[in-house]
Amino acid sequence: MKFSNGCWLQKEGCSCFAPAEAYFTKIEEKKVTICAPTTHIVTRGDTLGGVNLTLEITSPAPEILRVRTYHYKGEVVNTPSFELELNEALPLDVKDSEEEISIASGELTLVITKKSWSMTYYRNGEMITRSAGRDLALMKTDFKGLAYNYTDSEETYMRQMLSLSVGELVYGMGERFTPFVKNGQSVDIWNADGGTSTEQSYKNIPFYLTNKGYGVLVNHSEKVSFEVATEMVTRTEFSVEGGYLDYFLINGPTMKEVLTRYTDLTGKPSLPAPWTFGLWLSTSFTTNYDEATVMSFIDGMLDRGIPLRTFHFDCFWMKEFHWSDFVWDSRVFPDPAGLLKRIKDKGLNICVWINSYIGQESDIFDEGMEKGYFIKRTNGRVWQWDMWQPGMALVDFTNPDAYKWYQDKLEVLLDMGVDCFKTDFGERIPTEDVVYFDGSDPKKMHNYYTYLYNKCVYELLERKRGKGQAVLFARSATVGGQKFPVHWGGDCWSDYESMEESLRGGLSLLMSGFGFWAHDIGGFENTSTADVYKRWVAFGLLSSHSRLHGSSSYRVPWVYDDEAVDVVRFFTRLKASLMPYLYKTAIETSISGVPTMRSMVLEFTEDKTCHYVDKQYMLGDNLLVAPVFNDQSLAEYYLPKGTWTDFFTGEEKEGCGWFTEKCDYLSIPLMVKENSIVAMGAHDDKPDYDYGDDAELRLYALKDGKSAEAVVYGMDKTEEIAMTAKRDGNQIQIAVKSDKVYRIRLVNVIAISVSQGEVKIDKKDTVISLSGNADLTVTF
């Protein structure tokens, strides 16, 4: 939200109350409290009125400082609030003098000058950002004087501006389809069902990080308005309604470390089960389907050698107007339990669509209404409207009985054979004339509703299927939603522009604490050309999760052309063979919070070209993926400094430059970073198998004096193979810990001698077959 009229003036009717000085400071072991009047106190008479702000500064974890600023503390509403991992605050390192107060947590220090107010954050003595003058302020947009009896929510906002230095760029704020770098954008954190082609977003996260290696979480579940180098071009501004502001500043110094600390605070991405990484196929949305259609799709995929792993039933598994009552439409699915069994007998898992909106024609509407399980209006009646489902109500997840009731309805489906749920919607949550069971503030609940919705379903899945087996396909999210994966990008069109914006939105989400992401392969609205479909397939199957889904048309490949079948088969099998590498990456994501799919700036922050690159990404530590976004079959991509190896051809390229090349449909720029070991599995017919059994560990472009390492985990997360390699001149020392049979492939290396193992030369590569622990020397 913008308050200024240029550099010096405020907008008409707007009054600004900013700290003038730090008048009192109260220093405790774990908290510093500052009384900051908004006018200078010269005489005792100056203390008899006026606006004071109170600041409380604490540290919930090393390298994180929390700043809470109050006008009227008694009006602060804390429900609902994000579920943060807030242990007891840490002791602070405080230095107090007449001129300033310094508050440190680890290498992060906040220095507040007392007489002429300013707040400056330092990392090891180097300034990273600051706030001064009127940057931190209580803003009154219709100020009527001190004697006017108003509440702190009337035309009142609290804002902070933090400086941006030369070349500093801002990222994150959830899934945003606007430009990847947020500088120059006004961003409202407000969940909306707007598709992927507007500034609206399904997943709004009031967190940003910069290429300077720090991040900011604004700890408000209601609307947070960001002005990123807009109102003031050297500031990132954030503001909230009311007279209270709570934010955390998180030190890196690397962007990855910021994400690790952010997810320490908000929750780590939960690890999805191995089967979820395989190919999902949907009925699509408004298409006609019954049991015969479903089985023809499944058999058609399997008969064509495409290892389908999960089948998804979209909305019309239930009767129209009945969403959601969780009852199968008997007109098209007369024997749902039998159908599910027949699908599972083919080795597939099953997902069904749900949402938390209960239409008036639903079989469970009356029950929910009579028991008080729906959100109500202020007059005590059920809140209903006709958008999406006629007469629909919304489940009130703040009511513990409604929470359990919703789980009980879903549990019937799990007992029938369903494995997981697509938790759709959760964005259009009302804020006017609304009452929640627990008295939650409706404005704070608008974004937060999706957290309770997805948590409710995820907890049920963990209880019924076991920890590590729960998975959602969720569309909406807020802070902490990463604990309930997987999230997909929402409703996109079926063209290259939408494919590009989907990736942009995904990378933005993955810069906001989320670890796993999917999108509708082929696009959702309309029907793509065969060309777009085939390019999207390559992109989709080199994403963490992969689903074929559409709106009014099917997404099975044979409806496009025969070549599309080949493309889906090829990339589905490629992903299955990459599972030892992908699963290792996923485990690391669940531990560190660093996402599986990484923007180039996150992985190569020192390379300034990477700061703006948003049409390619790193898949884990070692693989670079550059989708093709045009019908000329031209791939355009950037390689940072170093030697990169084409995964398919073995051709090596020296980076620090742009490349353009023609790609057929069974190709995509998939480049391997130097000094990498990529573990490949022995199976390509499913994503879940023993990854360590007969695995192949491929060593790429190991430079003199450098080392590389890799781990292969079993599906139970136990370490099955650990390999290290170090190069000294024309020798590579390799050590492996394993009780498995495996192979080591030295890509583009012809060995002269190998100290142990069965050796063969495969084209330009040396392949060594081994069993169990090994220490070997390769001379080349």
Instruction: Residue count of the chain, please give it.
Output: 780
Q: Against a cut of 0.95, is the pTM above it? A: yes
pLDDT of residue 144: 82
| Cα–Cα distance list, 286 to 117, 294, 320, 760 (Å) | 59, 14, 11, 54
User: Which segments in the chain show pLDDT lower than 50?
Assistant: none
Q: What is the number of alpha carbons within 13 Å of residue 406 lying toward its C-beta?
A: 30
Cβ neighbour number for residue 693 with a 10 Å cutoff: 16
Query: Any idea what the Cα angle at residue 163 is, between residues 161 and 164, rounded to 5°?
Result: 130
Residue at 588: amino acid letter: E
Using one digit for the tens of pLDDT, what is the confidence trace for 214-238?
999 999 999 999 999 999 999 999 9
Identify whether the C-beta of residue 209 lies closer than 8 Å to the C-beta of residue 215. Answer: yes
Identify whether the C-beta of residue 766 lies closer than 8 Å to the C-beta of residue 778. Answer: yes
- Select from 470, 358, 335, 462 the least CA-distant residue to 409: 358
Identify whether the C-beta of residue 666 lies closer than 8 Å to the C-beta of residue 649. Answer: no
pLDDT of residue 114: 97
CA distance 698 to 247: 45
CA distance 118 to 34: 13
Active-site annotation, residues:
424, 427, 491
Helix (H, G, I), strand (E, B) or coil at 627: coil
Identify whether the C-beta of residue 571 lies closer than 8 Å to the C-beta of residue 306. Answer: no
Helix (H, G, I), strand (E, B) or coil at 754: strand
CA distance 425 to 398: 18
CA distance 407 to 372: 16
pLDDT of residue 554: 98
Q: Which residues contact 662 (CB under 8 A, 6 or more apart)?
A: 633, 634, 635
Identify whether the C-beta of residue 483 lies closer than 8 Å to the C-beta of residue 474. Answer: no
CA distance 255 to 598: 11
Strand ranges (E), 632-730:
634-639, 643-646, 652-654, 657-662, 670-673, 676-680, 695-700, 707-713, 719-728
pLDDT of residue 164: 98
Radius of gyration from C-alpha coordinates of the chain: 28
Cβ neighbour number for residue 129 with a 10 Å cutoff: 22
Q: Identify any residues that bridge with 623 across adjacent strands, giving them in sequence order.
A: 619, 672
Torsion of CA 24, 28, 30, 36, to 10 degrees: -10
Using one digit for the tens of pLDDT, what is the confidence trace for 42-51?
999 999 999 9
Identify whether the C-beta of residue 493 lies closer than 8 Å to the C-beta of residue 524. Answer: yes
Helix (H, G, I), strand (E, B) or coil at 395: strand
pLDDT of residue 153: 72
Element (H, E) at 302: helix 291-303
Beginning with the edge strand found earlier in the chain, give each strand of the sheet holding 15-17 in spatial order.
Answer: 15-17, 137-140, 156-163, 235-241, 224-228, 185-189
Using one digit for the tens of pLDDT, what is the confidence trace for 446-489?
999 999 999 999 999 999 999 999 999 999 999 999 999 999 99
